[in-house]
C-alpha cells in the first residue's frame, strides 16, 4: 500500500468514504442502523445516567466493553480493541433498547492483558491477575442493581481471564455472561478483520502502511508467541494481512458481532 492511501483501489467503501472536510461524506450502509452519537447515543451510556433513573428499575442489562492498550501494527491505533468493543456494546445496547430491554453500556475498560505485545512502545498491560480482579469486583458491584452483566471482550489475549472471572461470578449466583468481538475466519491481529472494522468506524484513524505481517494461523504460533512475544515473530506487530480490508467488510463484521451480543442477552441466560 502506497503511503497516503487509506484503502486499496477498487474498494468503493475505502478511500471514497473520506471527505476532506470531515466525516460528512461517510456513506451509510442501509442494512446497518446509524451509530448513535450525541444525546441519543448518550442514552445508552451508564455514565450519563442519574441514579434516580435507575432506582427501583427491575431489570437492567449492563454491557461492559473490555479492550486493551496495545500495538496494532503500524497502521491501527493502540486503542483498537477498546474501540471495537465499545462500538459493539453501544450498538447492542441500542438494539436491545428497541426490543424493550433496559440495556446500558458501562465505561470501557481500556486496559487488558497484553504481555505478548509488551516489546512495542505504547503498550500498557495490566496483566491477567489485575484484569480478573477488576472484572470480578466490577461485576459484583454492578450486580447490586443490574440483573445481568455482559462482558464484551475486544482482545483475544483477555479471553482466558474473562472466562475465569465469568465462571467465578456465575458460581456466586450472578448472571454474568461474555461475548468475544471476533469473527469466524478472521485473522489474528491488526490484519484483515481489525483493519476492516476500524475503517468502518474511524477511517481517519487508519494509517497508510498496510504491509502484511506473519500469516501463520494463530493456533500454530501461540506457544512461541507466549514465550518470545509478538515482536520476535512479527517486527511490524501485524499477525495477518490488512491489504484486503475494506469498510464494507468491517460494517458486516460489526453487525455480526453486535447480533451475537444481542442474542447472548435475549437467549443466553443459561450459558456464560
Ligand atoms: Zn486487536
Beta strand extents in 13-166 (DSSP E only): 61-66, 103-105, 148-153
For the chain, the average pLDDT equals 87
Question: What distance in angstroms lies between residue 53's CA and the mean position of ligand 1's atoms?
Answer: 35
Question: What distance in angstroms lies between residue 80's CA and the mean position of ligand 1's atoms?
Answer: 6
**Tally of CB atoms within 10 A around 31:** 8
Query: Which domain range does residue 208 map to?
Result: 59-264
Give me 217's grid cell: 494461523
Question: What distance in angstroms lies between residue 194's CA and the mean position of ligand 1's atoms?
Answer: 6
23, part of any domain: no
Distance between CA atoms of residues 6 and 13, nearest Å:
11
Please report where in the chains the cell 461524506 appears, as a residue. Answer: 25
Question: pLDDT per residue over 109-135, tens digit each?
Answer: 999 999 999 999 999 999 999 999 999
How are the residues of the chain apportioned to helix, strand and coil, as percentages rounded to the nearest 5?
45, 10, 45
Question: What distance in angstroms lies between residue 261's CA and the mean position of ligand 1's atoms?
Answer: 18
Average pLDDT over residues 196-223: 93
47, part of any domain: no
146 CB-side CA count, 13 A: 25
Distance between CA atoms of residues 240 and 221, nearest Å:
12
Number of domains in the chain: 1
Q: Which of 119, 214, 191 is nearest to 222 (CA)?
A: 214
102, part of any domain: yes
| 15 phi/psi in degrees, rounded to 5 | -60, -35
Rounded to 5°, the CA angle 69-74-78 comes to 15
Distance between CA atoms of residues 219 and 103, nearest Å:
35
Question: What distance in angstroms lies between residue 145's CA and the mean position of ligand 1's atoms?
Answer: 31
Question: What distance in angstroms lies between residue 112's CA and the mean position of ligand 1's atoms?
Answer: 11
Question: What distance in angstroms lies between residue 55's CA and the mean position of ligand 1's atoms?
Answer: 37
254, part of any domain: yes
What CATH number has the domain bearing residue 83? Answer: 3.40.50.10310
Question: pLDDT per residue over 1-46, tens digit each?
Answer: 444 444 443 343 333 333 333 333 344 444 555 454 444 556 899 9
Question: What distance in angstroms lies between residue 54's CA and the mean position of ligand 1's atoms?
Answer: 33
Amino acid at each position: 500500500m502506497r503511503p497516503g492511501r487509506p484503502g486499496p483501489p477498487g474498494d468503493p467503501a475505502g478511500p471514497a468514504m473520506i471527505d476532506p472536510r470531515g466525516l460528512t461524506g461517510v456513506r451509510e450502509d442501509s442494512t446497518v442502523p446509524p451509530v448513535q452519537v450525541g444525546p441519543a447515543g448518550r442514552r445508552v451510556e451508564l455514565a450519563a445516567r442519574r441514579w434516580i433513573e435507575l432506582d427501583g428499575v427491575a431489570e437492567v442489562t449492563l454491557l461492559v466493553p473490555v479492550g486493551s492498550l496495545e500495538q496494532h501494527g503500524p497502521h491501527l491505533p493502540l486503542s483498537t480493541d477498546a474501540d471495537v468493543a465499545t462500538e459493539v456494546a453501544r450498538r447492542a445496547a441500542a438494539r436491545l433498547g428497541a426490543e424493550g430491554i433496559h440495556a446500558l453500556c458501562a465505561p470501557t475498560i481500556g486496559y487488558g492483558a497484553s504481555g505478548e505485545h509488551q516489546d512495542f512502545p505504547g503498550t500498557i498491560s495490566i496483566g491477567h491477575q489485575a484484569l480478573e480482579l477488576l472484572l470480578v469486583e466490577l461485576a459484583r458491584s454492578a450486580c447490586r442493581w443490574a440483573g445481568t452483566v455482559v462482558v464484551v471482550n475486544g482482545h483475544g489475549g483477555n479471553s482466558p481471564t474473562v472466562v475465569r472471572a465469568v465462571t467465578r461470578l456465575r458460581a456466586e449466583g450472578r448472571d454474568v455472561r461474555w461475548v468475544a468481538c471476533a469473527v469466524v475466519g478472521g485473522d489474528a491481529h491488526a490484519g484483515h478483520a481489525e483493519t476492516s472494522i476500524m475503517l468502518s468506524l474511524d477511517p481517519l484513524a487508519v494509517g497508510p502502511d498496510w504491509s502484511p505481517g506473519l500469516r501463520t494461523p494463530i493456533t500454530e504460533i501461540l506457544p512461541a508467541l507466549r514465550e518470545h512475544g509478538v515482536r520476535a515473530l512479527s517486527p511490524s506487530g501485524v499477525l495477518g494481512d490488512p491489504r484486503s480490508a475494506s469498510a464494507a467488510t468491517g460494517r458486516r463484521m460489526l453487525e455480526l458481532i453486535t447480533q451475537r451480543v444481542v442474542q447472548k442477552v435475549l437467549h443466553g441466560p443459561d450459558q456464560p
